[in-house]
Amino acid sequence: MKIYNIDQIKDISVLCKRGGTDDRELFSYVQPILEEVEKNGDRALKKFSEKFEGVVIKDLEVKSESRISDELKAAFKVAYCNIEKFHKAQIEKNREVETMPGVKCFRESRAIERVGLYIPGGSAALSSTVLMLAIPAKIAGCKELILCSPPPISAGILYVAKMTGVNRVFQVGGAQAIAAMAYGTETIPKVDKIFGPGNQYVTAAKMLLQSKGIAIDIPAGPSELLVIADDNARPDFVASDLLSQAEHGEDSQVVLLCTDEKKVNEVLKVIEKQIEVLPRKKIAKGALKNSFAVIVSDIDQAIEFSNQYAPEHLILNIRSPRKYINMIENAGSVFLGPYSCESAGDYASGTNHTLPTSAYAKSYSGVSLDSFVKKITFQEISKEGVKNIGPTVETMAESEKLQAHKNAMTIRLNSIK
């Protein structure tokens, strides 16, 4: 990790800019995959599975049972209960508002009927992501949950899919899986909205399809973490948090903002020790090459930097972290205090780990119960309401030269008179 002093940085925005492949190059690579899946369906999916993953697929749908250890089953159960509890608390009560006498307005939620869940596989099959997506989908009342994940699908993903009530599971990954759920194929049904994180190709596919009117949750690419630490922070805690995200992928990025230069050097030394025992140390080392630490003058300055960076995950490993909550403007999910490690949120604290990356936290929220519902507004106007609101509607419609709009109200006013 490179070390910077905030006073020596001429342009903070340069550091806040994420690296990676040029979007135009990425989109031009992914677009033909989407088009071929739209045109050739299942045949294209099997072709791409063999090309990209080296797997020959006979049946796209997976119906087999899976076996996992009792210890893992118990862990999934704890996580399930916590995630369910947090997301059930997001259910809104319908409230009717009388905006003026005789004019009543209210709003109700309706579940998105069929949703597609993309679950990353490969070297780190994210069974936890099934919990994060399927649980709020079920609470929201979605009728059909379709899951796609690269072959071979892990036993953990299959177990959690059944545990959470996923209706159908398909062994297909990458941009082609996103295309399959967007367009539908002979085997995989078309869904109404696509959820789930993935690599740069998955994210590019989601963004290209969104531009064509297909609903997605959020742009969620390579994982990232920003830690703000003071002179009281334990170096081993900070180092472990940084490495927990660095091991996701070589394109991940971790950032340390610290008020104490000596503490930064202590953290970097601990990272060197901790990384050597990691099975994914090569990946973590690759991510650290894209990462950096910044020495700041105080916590206020650190939060100002963080708001510009807009991290997916933000840890405040500082004294009295709640004191700074109101200052945080842009972050996917925030972890308060030294014991709130990011991995707790990844797995089992209850909050959702499907979060915006690449500074999209400036304009996107993470996945929540609201992601799986549509909000429909209702209004009911009585004769009294027509008398009260009618003149306002007539005047505004006439100012916009929309005579038919005015007439719709005038006719009602005249009928009452």
Select which of 224, 247, 266, 313 is catalytic.
313
**Token reading at 287:** 């991510």
Contact between 314 and 21 under an 8 Å Cβ cutoff? The reply is no
Cβ atoms of 349 and 87 within 8 Å: the answer is no
Candidate list 53, 224, 266, 312, residue with the active-site label: 312
Catalytic residue status for 87: no
DSSP three-state, residue 367: coil
What is the 3-class SS of 117-178, one letter each residue? EECCCCCCCCHHHHHHHHHHHHHHCCCEEEEEECCCCCHHHHHHHHHHCCCEEEECCHHHHH
Sign of CA dihedral 203, 44, 186, 134: negative
Q: What are phi and psi of 381, to 5 degrees?
A: -120, 125
Amino acid 366 reads G
Q: Do 206 and 181 touch, CB atoms closer than 8 A?
A: no
Q: Kindly state the DSSP code that residue 265 receives in the 8-state scheme.
A: H
Which one, of 142, 143, 136, lies nearest residue 89 by Cα? 136
Q: Find, among 83, 68, 174, 92, the residue nearest to 133 by Cα.
A: 83
Return the structure tokens found at 234: 């334990």
Task: Let me know: does 260 contact 231? Beta carbons within 8 Å.
Answer: yes
Does the active-site annotation cover 353?
A: no
Q: Are 4 and 293 in contact (CB under 8 A)?
A: yes
How many CA atoms, within 13 angstroms, populate the side-chain half-sphere of residue 248? 22
Contact call for residues 233 and 263 (beta carbons, < 8 A)? yes
Phi, psi values for residue 54, rounded to 5°: 65, 30
Active site amino acids? 312-313
